[in-house]
Amino acid sequence: MQATMDPLKSTSKKSAWVDLAAHYEKLRGMHLRQLFKEDPKRGERYTLEATGLLLDYSKNLVTDETLELLFRLAAESNLQDHIEAMFRGEKINFTENRAVLHTALRAPRHASMMAGGENVVPKVHAVLDRMAHLSAQVRNGEWRGHTGKRIRNVVNIGIGGSDLGPVMAYEALKYYSDRSIRFRFVSNIDGADILEALRDLDPAETLLLVSSKTFTTLETMANARTARGWLLAGLGGDEKAIAGHFVAISTNAPEVAKFGIDTANMFEFWDWVGGRYSMSSAIGLSTMIAIGEENFRAMLSGLHQMDEHFRTAPAAQNLPALLGLLGLWYSDFFGAQTVAVLPYEHYLKRFPAYLQQLTMESNGKSITRAGKNVAHDTGPIYWGEPGTNGQHSFYQLIHQGTRLIPCDFIAFAKPIHAVGPHHDMLIANVFAQAEALAFGKTAAQAEAEGTPQWLVPHRVFAGNRPSNVILAERLTPEILGKLVALYEHAVFTQGVIWDIDSFDQWGVELGKVLAQRIIPELESAAEPKLAHDSSTNNLIRYYRKHKETA
Ligand code: G6Q
């Protein structure tokens, strides 16, 4: 199957790509002011609504011809075949020889999705049901710690994909969470992280979720061991206390048992779930404890609805495909280096950080499926902050700097909390920013405002700076699911066209082994024989010399 899907031509030699390059040359002098003037209905025409999300893409530097070419590029890259192959459970993560089936994690109970010749949906639901049982027990106080106290604190220990999704979802859905339970998330190997997370908690009331697909990750295992020491010290050193306070979420039962966690307290997931795609697996246990089974299932339903939309909608009506193609247009033809993600919803404050991993770990690749260097740019840098905070800081560069920074604004018609006039003020800022970026302010307009002549160049805004506006009714678990899957599949779309493996992460694996060699050199009492480069050797010597001195 892989062979038949392989693109016949390398990406930048595809006819649509060549035509897009020529089209870019024609379009580059064009201004959004002109495009809107020529088509008074552009705002309506370039708006796509599906699954309860609305994408206004009218303020992009595109025409009908651009869109046709982008859709042709998707077709020439066999996007639909690749989508089908993912849903069929083919091993599209070919460098790791794995299927990519996070979509099975949110498939309804009656569905069938195959991996390795087996329908995996029943086992997905078996784990979900166990998660629901444990969540209910913790939330209703049935689950008791070693001393008989109910759980008041839940601490998730994990990193990367085993942290960023759970943190983001917890923050995003805090309003829906049980406020009588405190949630903390520990990821960093820096001891300050776990220390600050545990310092004011009573071990007798604390449940620790050790979340690690491999259960070998340095940071997570070190933090888990420290937490175990803290727990045992607080509960009189009785090893039996572990059972009431530690739960593991992993694919690696032997390592879980070795750590001392009863595998009856282990929640499983599978190698066809990539870390950054795992928030809807058992890795989401903290989310389920926080918001309850019903809300968690609503989030899964949102994810699934977007999965189905992505699988079935034609490219021109396909939200993730369109978002991915627009991003690629700027990245590869305008040379844009970054994308700003700007949620105007305070609860989404960790969404940009979550997206950074999703997008940059997935598409930060430079080798094609055929093992050649790519001849085009791949994943742009994602970054962002919630509005309106960013407006008082880095937006200056987006408005008047020399770089093109496409922006994704995300906003909701209804606030989570209706606080006086706040929401109208918040949303007015979204619309105003997108408008100002697109249309700017001319010298004539600045002059008409009475700006002194010498100041006019500084008060001019060139405009023509593209943005998407994504709107939904209200941030709910279901809508969050849709937003997550929207970006997951936009990333997939780009990865297909860039002809890369969006599902491996050899750069992360490298980091996992590199430090292992240096740790003993920092720890050893005797002066170690160093065989690194002169810079690394020197840094190690400096550290060793200074680490013990007051
Ligand atoms: C995600 C990556 C990476 C991973 C972490 C944690 O796609 O693979 O971020 O999630 O390195 O790995 P473990 O869950 O195995 O501890």
What one-character-per-residue DSSP string does 43-89 give?
HHHTEEEETTEEEE-TTSS--HHHHHHHHHHHHHTTHHHHHHHHHTT
pLDDT value, residue 1: 39
**Amino acid, single-letter form, for residue 99:** A
What's 358's DSSP letter?
I
pLDDT digits (tens, 9 = 90+) for 201-234: 999 999 999 999 999 999 999 999 999 999 999 9
For residue 103, give the nearest of 296, 331, 300, 275 by alpha carbon.
Answer: 300
What are the DSSP calls for 152-187, one per residue?
-EEEEE--GGGTHHHHHHHHHTGGGS-TTSEEEEE-
pLDDT digits (tens, 9 = 90+) for 104-130: 999 999 999 999 999 999 999 999 999
Q: Is the pLDDT of residue 31 over 90?
A: yes
Q: Is the link from the previous residue into 66 a cis peptide, with omega within 30 of 0?
A: no
Q: Is the pLDDT of residue 529 over 90?
A: yes
pLDDT value, residue 8: 56
CA dist., res. 539 & res. 550, Å (int): 19
Q: Is the dihedral of CA 333, 335, 337, 339 positive or negative?
A: negative
What is the residue whose two structure tokens read 């093992």? 371
Asked if 404 contacts 336 with a C-beta cutoff of 8 angstroms, the reply is yes
Catalytic residue (choose from 361, 385, 478, 488): 361
Average pLDDT of the residues of the chain: 96
Main-chain dihedrals φ then ψ at residue 292, nearest 5 degrees: 90, 160
Contacts 24+ apart (CB under 8 A), 508-513: 508/160, 508/361, 512/217, 512/218
pLDDT value, residue 4: 44
Strands 381-383 and 338-343: parallel
CA dist., res. 136 & res. 460, Å (int): 58
Distance (angstroms) between ligand 1 centre and the Cα of 276 equals 7
Residue 334 neighbours by CB distance under 10 Å: 15
Which run of H or of E encompasses 352? helix 351-356
Q: Whose CA is nearest to atom 1 of ligand 1?
A: 275
Distance (angstroms) between ligand 1 centre and the Cα of 275 equals 5
pLDDT digits (tens, 9 = 90+) for 465-516: 999 999 999 999 999 999 999 999 999 999 999 999 999 999 988 888 888 8
pLDDT digits (tens, 9 = 90+) for 255-304: 999 999 988 999 999 999 999 999 999 999 999 999 999 999 999 999 99
Q: Is the pLDDT of residue 96 over 80?
A: yes
> Residue range 150-154: average pLDDT?
98
pTM for the complete prediction? 0.96
Q: How far is CA 281 from CA 151, 166, 483, in A?
A: 23, 10, 17
pLDDT value, residue 3: 38
Q: What percent of the chain is predicted at pLDDT more than 90?
A: 95
Counted residue by residue, the chain has a size of: 550
Is 361 part of the annotated catalytic residue set? Answer: yes
Q: Whose CA is nearest to atom 16 of ligand 1?
A: 212
**Amino acid, single-letter form, for residue 50:** A
Distance (angstroms) between ligand 1 centre and the Cα of 91 equals 19
What is the residue whose two structure tokens read 């007798």? 204
For residue 339, give the nearest of 405, 435, 436, 434 by alpha carbon.
Answer: 405
pLDDT value, residue 79: 98
549: confidence class by pLDDT, cuts 50, 70, 90: low
Catalytic residue (choose from 392, 529, 545, 546): 392
Which run of H or of E encompasses 546? helix 534-547
Our CA angle for 367, 370, 375, nearest 5°, is: 50
| Alpha carbons within 13 A on the beta-carbon side of 150 | 13
Within 6 A (CB) of ligand 1 lie 159-162, 212-214, 217, 220, 274-276, 361, 505, 508
Reduced to 3 states (helix: H, G, I; strand: E, B; else coil), residue 376 is: coil
Q: Whose CA is nearest to atom 9 of ligand 1?
A: 160
Query: In the beta sheet, which residues pair with residue 247?
Result: 209
Ligand 1 site-directed mutation target among 96, 501, 505, most atoms within 8 Å of CB: 505
pLDDT digits (tens, 9 = 90+) for 50-65: 999 999 999 999 999 9
Q: How far is CA 243 from CA 67, 232, 256, 393, 463, in A?
A: 57, 11, 12, 48, 60
Distance (angstroms) between ligand 1 centre and the Cα of 209 equals 15
Ligand 1 site-directed mutation target among 162, 221, 271, most atoms within 8 Å of CB: 162
